[in-house]
Chains A and B, each alone.
Chain A
Amino acid sequence: MSLASADFTYVADLVRRESAIVLSPGKEYLVEARLLPVARRSGDAGVAQLVERSRRRPDKATTQSIVEALTTNETSWYRDGDPFSQLGTTVFPQLLAQRSAGEKLRVWSAACSSGQEPYTIGMVASEVVPAGTSRVAITATDLSQEMVDRTRAGRFSQLEVNRGLPAPMLVRHFTRAGTEWEVSPALRSMVTTSTLNLAQPYPRMGPFDVVFLRNVLIYFDVPTKQDILRKVRAQMRPDGWLFLGAAETTLGVDPGWERVALGRTSAYRPIG
């Protein structure tokens, strides 16, 4: 039953080329199991037929679904902790003091992946902002249509809710739906989703009070980083807040930002 060695080599090469992720020999069963649903969805009789089709006539959609099936990465809730605690203790309270009563607060999760980040922002907002679920609007975008669909669905596996979601938040904001957990309608109503390629021109969104652009700049070269940071700034309120990943900074990339220490983390605010 196991995958032929030539088929495995083909898939491993493809995945390494497209994602730099290495599938070492011995992962044949993993490839077989992850690609079987892909094969069934695309009407191939089995994994061997899917590989054969891709090898004879490679097409972008098949390549992408093979790579996505083999490179799933788990995302945590409240990832890295500090940006979200600062959002609750500093950023939202300051915005509430500065904005007129009832004015919407807009937050952009610019690489939302499977949805943990925008829903974490929503949970923080519902804790600290009065009537937070209607006052705060979250825009969640991602390059991948599949990720956008997952975010919109708001359903998470048992393994996903085990990753850093505090138990009191789980019982407050989620209900069980079969083998999965589903976000509450109130939380989901805060989040609007769409696909967006950060390297391309942006439609008019915002203007945003807060932007989360975390662990995504690292994938781009310097000119593209500069372009992204400039375009993000144009979508923000002048007194807005930008959160980057722990290993990312605007310093030496784009002079249009002031770095502000917030507890053990930092945020960036537009200059001028």
Chain B
Amino acid sequence: MHALVIDDSRAMRRIVGGILEDLGYEITQAGDGQEALDKLEAGFVPDLACIDWNMPVMDGLSFVNAVRDNPQWRDVTLMMVTTESEHGQIVRALAAGAHEYLIKPFTPDALRDKLSLLGLVPVEVP
């Protein structure tokens, strides 16, 4: 499993990436939506993208819209991971095509719960 972690905070990329690594994910990072989109356009298609909302250059909602506009990327599971927590913002993100929505702050368990809702917790290899 491969996850793309998109956040302008390096600390947040380390936190989200670290929890996912513990679950067996390979991690690629991007500091804003455009940098992430460049990676997709270069042919990198992750299983999961964890997306902050407020970022410089290109915000997370614009990134979700861009991914959903391209049928080649329809298998990428999109999860917002953001401090935006108004009811209306969550509705907007889901309407744009995000599959799940995790509000900051969150615990590692909360991130794991979301992945299991998405069927994205890798099965441990014995």
Contact = CB atoms under 8 A, between A and B. Distances in A.
Contact of B87 (A74, A81, A175): A175
Nearest to A79: B113
Nearest to A74: B109
Contacts of A74: 109
Given A158-B103, A162-B103, A163-B110, A168 B87 contact: no
Contact of B100 (A161, A166, A176): A166
B48 to A, nearest CB: 15
Contacts of A170: 90, 101
Interface in B82-126: 85-87, 90-91, 93-94, 98, 100-103, 105-107, 109-110, 113-114, 116-117
A158 B98 CA distance: 20
Contact of B117 (A159, A164, A174): A164
Contacts of B94: 167-168, 171
Given A162-B102, A164-B117, A166-B117, A171 B87 contact: yes
Interface in A195-211: none
B116 A171 contact: no
A78 interface: yes
A62 interface: no
Nearest to A80: B116
Contact of A163 (B86, B93, B98, B113): B113
Contacts of A71: none
Interface string A76-100: 1010010000000000000000000
A176 B86 CA distance: 8
Contact of B106 (A78, A162, A171, A174): A162
A114 to B, nearest CB: 16
B100 A163 contact: no
A158 B113 CA distance: 15
Contacts of A81: 116-117
A171 B113 contact: no
A76 B113 contact: yes
